[in-house]
A and B are shown apart, each in its own frame.
Chain A
Amino acid sequence: MNDHSPPKTPAIAVNTVSKKFCRSLKRSLMYGVQDTIHDLTGRSLANIGLRKDEFWANDDVSFDIHQGECVGLIGHNGAGKTTVLKMLNGLIKPDGGSITLRGRVGALIALGAGFNPVLTGRENIFINGAVLGLSRSEVASQLNEIIDFAEIGDYIDTPVRSYSSGMQVRLGFAVATAMKPDILLIDEVLAVGDLDFRMKCITRITKLVDSDTAVVLVSHSMTDIQRVCTRTIVMDHGKVEFDGDVSEGIAHYEAVGNRRAKAPPTGQPNKSSRSISFLSASATVNGRKDEETDRLVVNTGDNIRISFQIECHQAVPHARLRLYIDSENLLVKHIASLSTADQLTTLRLTPGIHKLSIEVPNLPLRVGAYSFGVSAHTGERNILIPNTHVGTIHVVGPTIQLAAKGDAGLFAMETKWTREEMR
């Protein structure tokens, strides 16, 4: 995207920044007054630790972002992303460390903040522009472009309260990016628009990045992150967990999520009450033995073989074993559910230890983290082992490129394009 010129002074330098918040509102206000009085008397608060009911919303956060970089700030709810963004934007002060910014900062932390519902779209464009630091003539010169981009059309002269939420979002984004900032901070605002508009936004962000704007994008949409970002920073519990490559970052983020969703991982069923119990799992990737199923690191297209050892306490004449593949990012329950009944019409289990293996040649999953689990049933759908989390698969490559290359998505499929001359 950009020529990798030797690193200059970063556009954004975040140096061991921390910020604390308070759980109780009454105390929070009291601390706010205390902090203000401390500031007014010129005393420093830097070495005051956590007071009662306080916690670190950000703890020792450091990173540099250069011009022309688009960094995806990802993490689960409450990980501290928005707090970082608000400190970058100067809305709130850090409690420790320092932040240095070079250039004009534009932020879309909330679209349409400052929209007055009673006034028309046109009137609001001027006010919103002024709030973002644009002069009246600057706004006037870009008015048509803003209206076009926002696809507002004739509604521009009707009060904003009659706009749909999508229209408000489009208008807000159009105004905010019209100022062409040196640093652009975006917080989870693309999610509101429809698909067409999201693509337009992404194109505009990419253009800004190409013209050397440093962009920080907070999003829960990994698709958007993959489309525009050149780097990711993963946050968890107020700390930076990972900083680097986009695909690896996403895998890391999803792993954090899977860890949360599945903890505690193993609650082995009581042996005496079950006729089958799960013992262990192992896996091989491309033929090489890899015992660690709690973090299998693979590439799309790898051949994977997963084996389970189960102990059978009494004979089960018609057993079924199922392997589930899940991703916490999807709305569907399972990505895949692979049963022994698909091939072995009868699985007779006699007392003793059994090893069952399933082979997935040419793994079709794209970059991301997936968890897998196993369950066992009798032929009559009685559950012998409930779905038990066994491990995770981290697909880390091949690296997903821009959308245009067609590498994004969940699955790789064997396809064939053809072309015919019609004339």
Chain B
Amino acid sequence: MNNNKTPELVTVYSPESSLRSPASFLREMILDTWAAWALAMALARRDISSMYRQSLLGYVWAFLPPLGTTAVFLFLRAGGAFSTGDPGMSYPVFVLVGTLLWQVFGDSVNGPLKAVTNARPMLTKIRFPREALILSALLVTFFNFLVRLLILVPALCWFAWNGTYEFTPSAIALFPIGVLGIILLGYAIGVLITPAGMFYSDVSMALQTIMMFWMLVSPVVLTRPDHGIVGQVMYLNPVTHVLEFTRNGLVGIPCDWLAFLTVSMLSVVGLFIGIAIYRVALPHTIARMGM
């Protein structure tokens, strides 16, 4: 007899919806999410260290795509393939910062569903705090952002050296806040679509197409016109506000705090709802995933 092992933990599984007692649902959701951090760290560490292990170029892949995009758009614009309004800064800075930030946004949208899809074998066979999967996606997104800084910082130094950019204390202060807003928005969207994406692969397939068009209606490589239908669409697009805030902040152009904070608040609410739906949907998706 082992008397020091007195089990007090009582778990009940029943068909009832866990939302029937909202108070305990909330409490459990917060406790589980908190408890999942340690596991999320381990999973993120695993994903990061295995991500580049079977690759020759390794971390180069984190910033090669934005560099390529930047190069292509610089080339096209120089050749007169399209024209932009006044970006308020040097166009190379505009495009490079824009594409890097868009990549961060894309990472945070794609991350949660990708993490959960990759974890299918684990989900159907092991019980663990499942919030860890989406949290690890968040950690990986942050890590990838740090890697991208490795190209952004030298690039900005180079721009500063040739006179098209100027470092200011406010830029250094505003940039992280802006990036946080971008990640928060992308991540909230990513978590919200995860339950649907676990049922139907249509979601992840559609996502690729949507992200492509979405980029074109966000001020990533093109400037936002003040008038007209395109300007309206871009204005209604929440990414516009967090992206412009961050980029403007970085180059020292006045930022629209109201729009940024509004989008960020909505993101927080969306994220909260997303995690709740994720919790409720998971047992059902696992049951349908098969043995």
Contact = CB atoms under 8 A, between A and B. Distances in A.
Interface of A: 3, 11, 19, 21-22, 28-29, 31-33, 35-36, 38-40, 42-46, 82, 86-87, 89-105, 107, 109-110, 113-114, 116, 118-119, 123, 126-127, 130-133, 135-136, 182, 211-212
A103 B14 CA distance: 17
A116 B19 contact: no
Interface in B1-46: 1-2, 5, 7, 9-20, 38-39, 42-43, 46
A104 B14 contact: no
A100 B11 contact: yes
Given A22-B288, A40-B281, A119-B46, 14 more contacts: A19-B287, A31-B288, A36-B195, A36-B281, A36-B284, A39-B281, A94-B13, A100-B12, A101-B11, A107-B127, A118-B53, A131-B126, A136-B42, A212-B5
Contact of A98 (B12, B53, B285): B12
B134 to A, nearest CB: 15
8 contacts: A36-B277, A40-B19, A44-B17, A86-B124, A87-B13, A89-B126, A93-B15, A135-B38
Nearest to A27: B288
A119 B38 contact: no
B121 interface: yes
Nearest to B50: A118
Contacts, number: 151
A188 B181 CA distance: 48
Contact of A32 (B5, B7, B288): B288
A28 to B, nearest CB: 5
Contacts of B2: 211-212
A225 to B, nearest CB: 21
The 8 closest A-B pairs by CB, nearest first: A103-B7, A110-B125, A32-B288, A39-B17, A98-B14, A118-B50, A92-B287, A130-B42
B167 interface: no
Contacts of A99: 12-14
Contacts of B286: 91-92
Q: Looking at A3, A22, A133, which has the most chain B CB atoms within 10 Å of its CB?
A: A133
A116 B121 CA distance: 11
Contacts of A118: 50, 53-54
Given A42-B19, A132-B128, A105 B285 contact: no
B125 A109 contact: yes
A233 B123 CA distance: 27
B235 interface: no
Interface string B126-157: 11100000000000000000000000000000
Interface string B267-291: 0000000000100110111111001
Interface string B41-60: 01100100110011000000
B1 to A, nearest CB: 6
Give the size category of B's interface with A.
35 or more
B76 interface: no
B14 to A, nearest CB: 4
B121 A113 contact: yes
B39 to A, nearest CB: 5
Contact of A114 (B122, B281, B283): B122
A118 B2 CA distance: 39
Contact of A35 (B12, B123, B284): B284
Contacts of A182: 5, 7
Contacts of B9: 102-104
Contacts of B46: 116, 119, 123, 127
Given A89-B127, A211-B2, A116 B50 contact: yes
Given A97-B14, A119-B49, A135-B38, A91 B20 contact: no
Contact of A29 (B7, B53, B54, B199): B199
A123 B49 contact: yes
B177 to A, nearest CB: 32
A298 B16 CA distance: 48
Contacts of A92: 283, 286-287
B11 A90 contact: yes
Contact of B7 (A11, A43, A87, A123): A11
A378 B291 CA distance: 51
Nearest to A57: B287
A95 B283 CA distance: 11
Q: Looking at B53, B127, B291, which has the most chain A CB atoms within 10 Å of its CB?
A: B127
Given A42-B20, A91-B127, A96 B15 contact: yes
Contacts of B283: 90-93
A127 B43 contact: yes
B200 interface: yes
Interface in B93-141: 121-128
Contact of B125 (A22, A28, A91): A91
Contacts of B128: 131-133
Contacts of B39: 130-131
Contact of A101 (B1, B10, B121): B10
B13 A98 contact: yes
Nearest to A214: B7
A126 B126 CA distance: 15
A104 B7 contact: yes
A98 B10 CA distance: 13
